[in-house]
Amino acid sequence: MLDLAWPHAPPYPANTTVLGGMLRLTTEGTGSDANVSAAFLYTDLIDDDGDMVEVEAYFANGASRISLSELTRLAKARIDERCVRMGQAMVEERQS
């Protein structure tokens, strides 16, 4: 959805989505100075310790950090408002 990539997540090939893998977006700063960094977290499944490995994830511009306003622009361009309205209606129905 946001064109994120994680080319270096050994021992897996680039951009492999592994069992238990996740993307983490972290905000830093506030207001117009807010930035968002991206990371891919995964288990290497080499042993059974369950430790997570974290590597940088990159946005389409090749950066691992973008402004919050740029992330908002990227997300809004890809959100189907019909799905949002449908989801809101389902939540409201369950709450009543």
Confidence of residue 88 (pLDDT cuts 50, 70, 90): confident
Q: What is the pLDDT of residue 22?
A: 92
Q: What is the pLDDT of residue 89?
A: 76
Q: What is the pLDDT of residue 9?
A: 85
Looking at per-residue pLDDT, the higher value among 44 and 25 belongs to 25
Residue 82 has pLDDT above 90, yes or no: no
* Burial class of residue 73, CB neighbours in 10 A (0-12, 13-18, 19+): exposed
Local structure of residue 48 (DSSP, 8 states)? S
What are the tens digits of pLDDT across the range 44-77?
Answer: 776 677 788 899 999 989 999 999 999 998 888 8
* Gap between the Cα atoms of 14 and 7, Å rounded: 4
